[in-house]
Structure formats: C-alpha cells, structure tokens
Amino acid sequence: MDMAGKTVLITGSTDGVGRYVATRLAGEGAKVLIHGRDAARAKALIDEIVKAGHMAPTFYQADLSSMAGTRELAAVVTRDHQRLDVFVSNAGIGSQSDGPQRQESRDGHELRFAVNYLSGFLLAHLLLPLLKAGAPSRIVNVASLGQHPIDFDDVMITKGYSGSRAYAQSKLSQIMFTIDLAEELKGAGVTVNALHPATYMNTTMVRAGGITPISTVAQGGSAILHLVEGDDVAGSSGLFFNGMNEARANPQAYDSDARRRLRALSLSLTGLSS
C-alpha cells in the first residue's frame, strides 16, 4: 500500500518500536499522528523527522492509564481528522515497568490490563467511524508471544499477582479482541490483526525489566510495518502473527465463550455498554 497522504495514528510512538514505525511512515509520506506522555520526547522525534525533510507529525499527549484520558485522545483525533487509514495500538507497559508490584489505574483496574488492553479496546471502538471513513483501512494491535489465560474469577489478579502474568494476560486479551473485532467488521473494509513484533527488542521497556535485548527495534518495526502496509495481508483479518508469519496464539484466544465473557466485561469497564 502506498502510504503517501495516508493518516496513521500510532499510540506509544515517542519511544521504542513505535518511534521507529512513526519515523519510517513519515519518510514514506504518511500523515503521522504520534502519541505519548512525554512532550520532550515527542519534540525530539518531530525535529528529527522535519530535519530529514518530511512532514512534521502531529503530537497528541494523553495518559492511557485513564479511561477519561483515552476518551479525550479519541475526541481530539476525531475533531482534527475526517478519516483514519491505519490505527496502530502500540502503547503499553512491560512486566516490570514501575516495579513488579501490583498497581491500579486511575479507574481502579489492574494497571497492565488497563493500559495494554482496555485503552486500545476503547480507542478502537471510538475511532471506528474514522476508520470506516478511511476504508480500506487497518487496525494493528501490538501484542506478544507472552500470553496467559484469563481467570474470569479474578481478572484483575488480586491473588497470586505477578507482573509477568499481568502483562501476558493483557496481551492475550488484545489477541482475543482482535479476533472478535475482525468478525464484527466483516464487510466494513476495516481489517484487524495482532502480532508479536520481535522477542526482547532493544527498547526502554525491555531494559527496564533487566532483560538483555536479543532483537533490534528495526526487526520489530518491520513486522509492524508489514501489517500496516503489506499488500499480501490486505485481505487478512482476525489473525495473529509472530514477526512476519501467521501463528497460533494461546488456545483461549479461540474459545468463543471466553471471548464473549471478555467482550462483555470490557464493554462494561470502558462504559461502552451504556
């Protein structure tokens, strides 16, 4: 797909693999909408892109640990744009970000579930009118091979908490949502896919977890760009990819009853059910 003139929103794009994808797409002539919490990082990215001779991205500052912050981001993007060609849901926190202890979001939800999954779930739904206006358009959910089944009796992991379990549960939730939304959007011209971009990329998130990187940001970024613009996946939807290749997720992802329960819970927690 020729990305020149296409409008692309990438959450979590002032650092790491999101930054790489934003830079590459800006270089291809896309109208890039970057998101993050740190205005200084955003300015550095914008300056770098402009210095390279490309159109300056538009920066949207928002805290996705808050449902109100997520809704505000969707509102300002909707106010500023009539269509959206691609939405890359990339923002997230790792298993050890801000420490291994259990934390809650402003809305009282387990923090990793809120940031890594619920914010993207809410954003995708709120941005659907723009994505449908931009059809054929694409949603790319940046997930992980690290996946843990959801215990529906304790979704917020109040017992036996670990950061790695919380992270892995949030990533499986993204994949389950991907499958459901793809089914919902059949015939609408909007595809939805999820991927594990690369294992332990050289990112702030990985380093903060005390992990030695084994993949480059460019490797992960290339896998994301494949789903953003690859002609070979133009008609693909509801799939999970490991890097460049289609793969199988945790078995719970293919359990329709589990997906139904997650969907009902997510609609309730985000206020969309009302």
Give the active site residues: 167
Distance CA(79)–CA(119), nearest Å, equals: 19
The structure tokens listed for 269 are 């927690």
Measured between alpha carbons, how far is residue 135 from residues 4, 87, 185, 203 in Å? Answer: 15, 12, 11, 32
Distance CA(56)–CA(244), nearest Å, equals: 29
Kindly report the CA angle at 237 between 130 and 131, in degrees rounded to 5?
Answer: 5
The structure tokens listed for 176 are 């389950």
The structure tokens listed for 6 are 């296409």
Which residues are 196's β-sheet partners? 242
What is the C-alpha R_g of the chain? 17
CB 95 within 8 A of CB 46: no
The structure tokens listed for 174 are 């993204």
Measured between alpha carbons, how far is residue 245 from residues 59, 164, 174 in Å? Answer: 32, 25, 18
* Residues 6+ away with beta carbon under 8 Å from 61: 35, 36, 37, 39, 42
Strands 137-142 and 58-61: unpaired
